[in-house]
Amino acid sequence: MQIAAESWDYKVPFRVSRGAEATLDVVVVTLRDADGHVGRGEAAGVDYDGETIPKLIDQIETVRASIESLCAVVPHEAGADRFAALARLLPAGGARNAVDCALWDLTAKQRRATVWEMAGFVNPRRLTTTVTLGIDSDAAVVAGARRYANWPMLKVKVDGVRHLDAVRLVHAVCPGAGLVVDPNQAWTCDLLNRLAPEMQSLGVVLIEQPVARGQDETLRAYSGKIRLAADESVADRADLAAIKDLYQVVNVKLDKAGGLTEALALARAARAMGLQVMVGCMAGTSLAMAPGMVAGQLAEFVDLDGPLLHREDREHGIEYDLGLMQLPSAELWG
């Protein structure tokens, strides 16, 4: 097993309500078996839970021997136990995500199959993603909206002060686009209720995690009609019961869930509860978006625009055409 830390520069500093970053740091895990099969996985970790790349690497190194034992060649119809074993080795989060996605990639090659077949998607569909506009000056927000003026869905990052003004700017440039608004926990339910009516008139179809994690119960006073998506408040299936009556959509992210295995289980459990699914990302490269596209087969909303935010992407990166994502190539992953 190889573990590498990498940094990927953003085109412009990426700002959300928690702060701004010029680069995204990720960990890449590469697994190999004795027959030369190789699987890769990428994770950025969950920054608001205190995950850093050094911490992720330390977590993985602690169970290195056990992970390497999981990479032995598996029979064609076996292998499910290795994912369950990994879940016992590492908690939900970025470390397990990187290893889990690498293990899916490796297992597919060992079986001479695809991850799509392994996940039960015989005819996977291409996905249409939002593209994210970070918190910025009026001129920068307008320029970003113009750059993506023909995209069907845009996501607007906001905070407790800059919210309606940014949405108005984007809607003026892209009146036909559906808008997703993401305060990243920066609002109160009272502010949400004051903003929701005009936001609905501006084409907003979804608001992500308006209130702070742990304050979700305040949303029982929500009076608006725009659907709400739980993001920071839901990592894996254990969190669903607490939010199922407060939100209508669950944002599934592989870094939060601890990999594709739990992401699929979370998406299916959410749907069984009558919730819709959004698949999001932590702004990684195409290597992180590819397994996200597998979970995205179960989603109504897709936010897998990470490569579009960076100056460069990986070789054999996913192709985007006005938001439509082509299925990843076998050279990249899966």
Catalytic residue, candidates 157, 225, 244, 256: 157
d(CA 299, CA 278): 5
Q: Has 253 been annotated as catalytic?
A: yes
Task: Report which DSSP code applies to 310.
Answer: B
Q: Is 142 exposed, middle or buried (0-12, 13-18, 19+ CB in 10 A)?
A: middle
What residue spans of the chain are helical by DSSP H?
A: 53-62, 64-69, 80-89, 94-111, 115-119, 138-147, 164-173, 189-201, 240-243, 254-257, 260-272, 286-295
d(CA 189, CA 207): 12
Q: Has 256 been annotated as catalytic?
A: no
- Amino acid at the residue 170: V
Catalytic residue, candidates 11, 55, 225, 253: 253
Given phi > 0 = left and psi -120 to 50 = alpha, else beta, which region is 28?
beta
Q: Which residues are catalytic?
A: 157, 253
